[in-house]
Structure 1
Amino acid sequence: MSHKATHPPDTPLYPIREVSRLTGVNSVTLRAWERRYGLICPQRTPKGHRLYAQDDITRIERILQWLNRGVSVSQVAELLNQPEAVETPVPASHDWESQRQQLIALVNALDTAGLEALYHQSLALYPLSVAINELWQPAIKALEARWQSAPDALAQRTFEALLRSQVGIRLYYANKATRGPLVMIAPMPDEPGPLWVLMTALLASEHGYRVQLMDRHLPLDALPQAVTRLHVSLVLFASGQVENDAHVHQALPEAAATLGVPVGLCGDIARRREGEFNDGRVHLLGDDLPRAVARLRPLLREAGVL
């Protein structure tokens, strides 16, 4: 059953850009939820512009609650119609699992058109943090585990090239549209490809930062010059690997101490190396990429950037 707008005439109404700001859901996703699933039904101006009331915003927040519990958007409509007082069990995540398997199959089949369509569909239907947590990050972990035991350089490089181009386009336009602090995102030395940094860069851009993406490892002795010449406010390293002990325990902390800007570390390495950084020069931000990027703001605030 579609949600129908029945707001009294004197109800305050908000344009889609304001609803996007209030809820964190971009306008493309709000329109997709309306058109494809009937999850929301805003009023329209005579010229066709969408206007949302407070109960629409409340409904969007309920949708987000379900999505953040791992429910796919195709299952949300039925759950929204349940009484809020009733504790509704979370459906099995079969749809997410099928989407992950579809993504992996497209990579293995070198189906770049299908991958591009899935990329755009996932970013249109879901908030970016949900798409990455439920689809992209688990699928990338599964692919990387498979490639360690059964290397497939062609599939890996094809997948990386497609994501590099798609994310690059998104970053280009987002960087032009924001005046936020510049975050430089780079892989660690043992990282075999750019997949982790690409996902991290997408999230940082979504949070309003300008992103300087380095999809190959930058030597530590080049970091001070990069920070100065590019006017970097924070350096963020990403990796799905354990990484070399000497680099992690000595070289990276020593380099971080000379930069004068916060240095963060995210991805599987942050989970595997938890508890190994105690002097505050390198901040371990965790392997949950959306949460890791959300933790950049306190670091920038502490550094006096925000």
Structure 2
Amino acid sequence: MERERIEEPTLPVAAVARRLGIAPATLRTWDRRYGIGPREHTTGRHRRYAPADIARLELMQQALLRGSSPAEAAEYALRATDHEPEPPAESVPVPRESDLLRAAGARSAAVLGLGRAAMAMDAVATQQLIADSIRGLGVVAVWDDVLRPVLTALATRCAQSGESVEVEHLVHECTLAAVIGATPAVTAPRNPRPVLLCCAPEERHALPLYVLRAALADGGVGTQMLGAALPADALAAAVRRTGPAAVAVWSQLPGSAGAELFERVPRTRQRVRLFACGPGWFTTDLPDRVDRAEDVGDAADRIATLVGAAR
């Protein structure tokens, strides 16, 4: 029996995250904060999830979709898989089949709720909805599945009719406040040298960069934020002064991305990893020493792995 248990097929973090539709950083958060992680010891730093581990995660996710707090959902999942009595319904509702059928639309409901609060110009409710979603699902999942759809819809409306500019600004500011509030202070980073985060010289869309910083901080990666529209000379000076482990340059729009920026990053005694992050780099030919990351989640995973952070 013990031999059969050990030889059960297991999945890495990235595969489990894709299966559940959440960010790898969320899995790490649930493991660290609530103990919902692999039960068996694995060698090295790589977590691998057995079928029983994934079943626990699915139970936690179902409880979250019914409105439980992360701590309540974790307790419910642990008790259920340990064959303990189920908690009272008023504490952690037990998912029903009808709830599972509605699960796919849960994030759409969050989008609608956020949209209603924003259109009402209710800044308190807007920021609270974003913060609550981040606590339950993780900052990358909320960015991809809740915030981006709302911001894209508002930007389209502004471009087509000139309306709702004030709403777009409100959502932007509330998102920035919620993401900064959800970014833990990394007092003992896993990387001895920092990761520099900045936008391309002509890029002023810095909000994804703050989401990336929050995701990296959640994994114990130390960063230094240099913000929007950083001139190439300033980036070069920052690299010389800090000797970073990596530099991540965000570009949202194609017009802001130029591969020559990376040629101006000075070489240091220790290797500096270079990352071109965001959709603005999609059609840009990059030097061989530059890694391309398509979105925030991809960037967070690649940077965390290559600078030596735990997966």
Question: Same fold, TM exceeding 0.5?
Answer: yes
* C-alpha separation in 2, matches of 1:192 and 1:167: 18
> In the alignment, which residue of structure 2 is the partner of 1:253?
262
Deviations 1:243-275 (A, max 9, x none): 24xx5143x2322464651121222224x326x
> In the alignment, which residue of structure 2 is the partner of 1:294?
301
- How large is the RMSD of aligned CA atoms in angstroms? 4.0
Q: What secondary structure sits across from 1:209 in the alignment? A: coil
Compared CA separation, residues 153 and 291, structure 1 to 2 (3 A): same
Q: How many residues align?
A: 243
For residue 95 of structure 2, what is the amino acid of its counterpart? A
* C-alpha separation in 2, matches of 1:22 and 1:98: 20
* C-alpha separation in 1, matches of 2:144 and 2:30: 17
* C-alpha separation in 2, matches of 1:22 and 1:139: 21
Residue 77 of structure 1 pairs with residue 87 of structure 2: no
* C-alpha separation in 2, matches of 1:24 and 1:79: 28
Q: Percent identity, aligned pairs only?
A: 17
**1:209 deviation in Å?**
0.9
Alignment of 1:78-157 (within 5 A): 78=96, 91=102, 93-151=104-162, 152-157=164-169
Compared CA separation, residues 177 and 233, structure 1 to 2 (3 A): same
Consecutive unaligned residues of structure 1, counting only runs of 5 or more, are 1-20, 34-53, 83-89
* Greater mean alpha carbon deviation, residues 146-155 or residues 184-193: 146-155
Residue 168 of structure 1 pairs with residue 180 of structure 2: yes
Compared CA separation, residues 91 and 160, structure 1 to 2 (3 A): closer
Compared CA separation, residues 241 and 55, structure 1 to 2 (3 A): closer
Compared CA separation, residues 268 and 206, structure 1 to 2 (3 A): same
Alignment of 1:43-58 (within 5 A): 57-58=53-54
Consecutive unaligned residues of structure 2, counting only runs of 5 or more, are 1-24, 37-49, 68-93
Q: What secondary structure sits across from 1:144 in the alignment? A: helix
> In the alignment, which residue of structure 1 is the partner of 2:39?
none
For residue 272 of structure 2, what is the amino acid of its counterpart? V
Compared CA separation, residues 80 and 153, structure 1 to 2 (3 A): closer
Could you tell me whether the CA contact under 8 Å between 1:186 and 1:213 is conserved in 2? yes
* C-alpha separation in 1, matches of 2:235 and 2:220: 23
Could you tell me whether the CA contact under 8 Å between 1:256 and 1:281 is conserved in 2? no
Pick from 209, 224, 230: which aligns with 1:212?
A: 224
**1:58 deviation in Å?**
4.9
Compared CA separation, residues 93 and 199, structure 1 to 2 (3 A): same
Pick from 269, 272, 290: which aligns with 1:282?
A: 290
**1:56 deviation in Å?**
8.0
Compared CA separation, residues 81 and 156, structure 1 to 2 (3 A): closer
Deviations 1:179-231 (A, max 9, x none): 53522222224434322212222212122211222332211111122123344
Compared CA separation, residues 96 and 169, structure 1 to 2 (3 A): closer
**1:162 deviation in Å?**
3.0
Deviations 1:138-174 (A, max 9, x none): 3333333334434554333333333333333443x42
* C-alpha separation in 2, matches of 1:132 and 1:78: 28
**1:300 deviation in Å?**
2.7
Q: TM-score, normalised by structure 2?
A: 0.63
Could you tell me whether the CA contact under 8 Å between 1:186 and 1:218 is conserved in 2? yes
RCO greater where, 1 or 2, for CA within 8 Å and sep 6 or more? 2
**1:122 deviation in Å?**
0.6
For residue 119 of structure 1, what is the amino acid of its counterpart? I
Residue 62 of structure 1 pairs with residue 45 of structure 2: no
Compared CA separation, residues 196 and 143, structure 1 to 2 (3 A): farther
Deviations 1:111-156 (A, max 9, x none): 2101221122112222333333322233333333334434554333
